Structure 1
Amino acid sequence: MAQDGRIRQERAVATRAALIAAAAAEFDERGYLGASMDGVAERAGMTKGALYFHFRSKADTASAVIAEQDAISRRYAEVAATRSSSPLESLMWMTQGIASQMTREVVVRAGLRLAADPNAREIPRDHPYEHWVEHTADIIRRAIATGEVDPSWDPELIGRVVSPAVAGVQMVSDMLHDRADLYERLQELWTMLLSGIASERTRAEVPRLVAIIRPEAPDGA
């Protein structure tokens, strides 16, 4: 009996994940207003009954996509921290991860689109924006402590500027070039930002740092 219960639970988890992936594709392609529960069920190859068993409404489904997007982004940020030997390198790897998410992860694209969609204000959600502002500010605090960033800068100010700036670059790249130039545009953004905030000894390192933001092979090589 215990094994049967575990199997049912695993199936339920797998079904929910498949529905979130299908919902992400629906929202990414059609936006919040254009998406439908029928479309989500059809993409998932499931009945509407199965869909409504897991999600009460379109808003509830969209909320789950946003939550999964944030979870994916946090995992990428954790990986960025392990690849870095300094705070600013961590920030560059985090940005590289953002670009990889936007080009590879439909859940991330859909979650960010929903988060910025004025027609989706009814969606129940947490507010991950504040988390990323504070996360960036914390990295800058450490960069100041290690001498990478000029101590005259306010880490909270940089956090508040960086997060919407990166989001804006993503949005424009998506609208104008289907994200084909995303890495290049992010390199330009960080060249300007780092040139302004870097300490004197770190300024010569800016080209090396921004070069971290580049496409990687699918296997991460």
Structure 2
Amino acid sequence: MTMKVDSDRQTRRDASPAAKGVPQLKQERAIRTRAVILKAAAAAFAERGFPNVTIVDIADRAGMTKGAVYFHFGSKEALALAVAEEFYRYLTHTMRPALEKDQDPVDKVADLLRRAAASFRDDPITQAGARLQIERQYIGVDMPLPYVGFTDLIASLLQQGLEQGLLPEGATPEALARVLVSAVFGAQHISWVLEDRSDVVERTQEVLDAVLYLPRQQRAAREPVGR
């Protein structure tokens, strides 16, 4: 009889609202811990580079034990992959306000690239993602293909701009997108080396003026008055 009573009490405890909430609390705590580790890893990778960072370095930055880091990420390579994936998610998040603005497609492209430049200047996840792509040969896992989705988005906006007469006739949106993305991400790299990215937004604007806006101004100047 006593065993049955004890069993019934345990069943009631397991079915109580407090007991049901325990897994959710643990999951939320795990999500928060994972985010802290990712942020610490991103800062370390951005500052020192993948080859020069250890799990102990990341654990110290995160304020936790090495075992806690390994519980969430099985290796330094897994952490690098997670940071790179978070980088592209963050880029997508950064784009959203520009895409929702009421502006023409070419101005949306410029807005997107300026926002990306500001992220390179201000956000450790973005800085780490860019550096990890450069160091991908040192990382023993398959990293995301660099900037492919971002370039496709730019190309689709430029295609809309071409259809609206905002680009020169005969312009190739895909090629122009590749040039823009290469120039902007190259500019951020040079800005990083020379100025710790303090001038990356200005260097990005120079790219936009030369590649996007100057041709449009030249075309407008050649058009007959009153056309």
TM-score by length of 1: 0.86
Q: Please, which of 130, 135, 143 is the counterpart of residue 153 of structure 2? A: 135
- State the partner residue of 2:91: 73
Distance 1:203 1:73 in 2: 35
The answer to whether the 8 A contact 1:19-1:41 is kept is yes
**1: CA distance, partners of 2:139 / 2:221:** 42
Q: Return closer, same or farther for 1:146/1:99 CA change in 2, 3 Å cut-off.
A: same
Contact map agreement 1:148 1:199 (CA 8 A) in 2: no
Contact 1:25 1:110 in 2 (8 A): yes
Q: 1:152 aligns with which of 170, 177, 189?
A: 170
2:220 & 2:59 partners in 1: Cα distance?
52
What's the offset of the Cα at 1:120?
Answer: 3.0
Deviation track 1:66-92 (CA, whole Å, cap 9, x = no partner) reads 011110000111111112411011111
Q: 1:122–1:192: structure 2 CA closer, same or farther, 3 Å change rule?
A: same
* Structure 1: tracts of 5 or more residues without a match: 205-221
Letter in 2 for 1:148: L
Partner of 1:64: 82
Could you say which residue in structure 1 is the equivalent of 2:101? Answer: 83
Question: Which residue, out of 81, 92, 105, partners 2:123?
Answer: 105
Q: Percent identity?
A: 31
Partner of 2:70: 52
Count of aligned pairs between the two proteins:
204
| TM-score normalised by length of structure 2 | 0.84
2:186 equivalent in structure 1? 168
Unaligned stretches of 5+ in structure 2?
1-18, 223-227
- Partner amino acid, structure 1, of 2:172: D
